[in-house]
Amino acid sequence: MCHQGLTEPKAGQGMEWGHCREDHSVDRLLAQLSQTGFPPVTWEQRVPCGRLPLASMTSEVVENEFEFYSKAEKYWKDVPATVDGMLGGYGHISSIDINSSRKFLQRFLRDGPNRTGTTRALDCGAGIGRITKRLLLPLFKTVDMVDVTEDFLTKAKSYLGEEGRRVRNYFCCGLQDFSPEPNSYDVIWIQWVIGHLTDNHLSDFLKRCRAGLRPNGIVVIKDNMAQEGVIMDDVDSSVCRDLDVVHKIIRRAGLHLLAEERQENFPDEIYHVYTFAMR
């Protein structure tokens, strides 16, 4: 029995990740318990399928950190190096996503005393370079890309075309181990990838991003938000956090929230997506 709204597919992370996998061993266990004199357990008392009991932090749902990361790397190695692959079958939302991100970002690039520069940007969890190609390269002189999957970065060199010559570096590395060059980036863009980091690693990574900003630079996170708590996805080995949890991690990293916006015009069946700007 799948509980509506708890196991939605994730934008940027495919439809199959929201599937409800019923474990009929639970039925057998409940039948055995009913014969022991324990009061009957109803469906409403069970843990909703596709998620663990409500958690308030990643450590409550990640049992083995090494497996958490290695399983995610293995998952992405099997994903097609295409826009549709990057968006988990939701390639048709790419233009909606990019257009909204551009409007969000441009408010910081306008003229003014605290204007964010346009010299260099970093695309984190870049994949084949969908965001680099359509959002960052049109706005910045140079871009660096970092992703854990080498095949994606290899594909990026052809996918980006002639404009790809302005990509200075292709870093093949998990974000938990990546350190942006200090005082180097006007914008560090982190989209649909924070779920692959534990709370501690995400907080530490954001601290390193803060050190990587140039004057008036910003860090931007765009990602899925759970309705409540922290939800584990065993298929791709990721977590989805609610807004309160993400806000706490941002504060713990010593960053100040400048703007927050919910993405509009995405399919109803996927998680809500929010964009945050901070420095």
pLDDT tens sequence across 135-179? 999 999 999 999 999 999 999 999 999 999 999 999 999 999 999
| Predicted local confidence at residue 239, as pLDDT | 97
Amino acid letter, 268:
D
Q: Is the dihedral of CA 142, 161, 11, 58 positive or negative?
A: negative
Q: How far apart are CA 61 and CA 47, in angstroms?
A: 14
| Predicted local confidence at residue 79, as pLDDT | 97
Q: How far apart are CA 58 and CA 65, in angstroms?
A: 10
Amino acid letter, 5:
G
With beta carbons less than 8 A apart as the criterion, state whether 115 and 108 touch: yes
Q: How far apart are CA 159 and CA 138, in angstroms?
A: 15
Pairing of strands 167-172, 185-191: unpaired
Amino acid letter, 242:
D
273 dihedral zone (left: phi>0; alpha: psi -120 to 50; beta): beta
Place of tokens 């399983």: 71
* Residue of higher predicted confidence among 9 and 59: 59
Tokens of 134: 């359509």
Per-residue pLDDT tens for 190-227? 999 999 999 999 999 999 999 999 999 999 999 999 99
| Predicted local confidence at residue 258, as pLDDT | 97
Q: How far apart are CA 68 and CA 137, in angstroms?
A: 32
With beta carbons less than 8 A apart as the criterion, state whether 89 and 14 touch: yes
Amino acid letter, 4:
Q
Structural domains in the chain plus CATH codes: 60-278 (3.40.50.150)
Mean of the per-residue pLDDT values for the chain? 86
Query: Does 25 have pLDDT greater than 90?
Result: no
Comparing 6-10, 48-52, 110-114, 186-190, the range with the smallest average pLDDT is: 48-52
Per-residue pLDDT tens for 37-89? 434 433 233 334 444 446 889 999 999 999 999 999 999 999 999 999 999 99
**% of the chain with per-residue pLDDT over 90:** 78
- The partner residues of 213 in beta bridges, in order of sequence, read 185
Q: pLDDT band for position 11 (50/70/90)?
A: low
With beta carbons less than 8 A apart as the criterion, state whether 195 and 93 touch: no
| Predicted local confidence at residue 49, as pLDDT | 41
DSSP string, 90-116: -GGGHHHHHHHHHHHHHHHHSSSTTPP
| Predicted local confidence at residue 9, as pLDDT | 60
Per-residue pLDDT tens for 117-143? 999 999 999 999 999 999 999 999 999
Tokens of 230: 């922290």
- The partner residues of 272 in beta bridges, in order of sequence, read 225
| Predicted local confidence at residue 10, as pLDDT | 65
| Predicted local confidence at residue 215, as pLDDT | 97
Place of tokens 């968006």: 87
Place of tokens 């914008």: 187
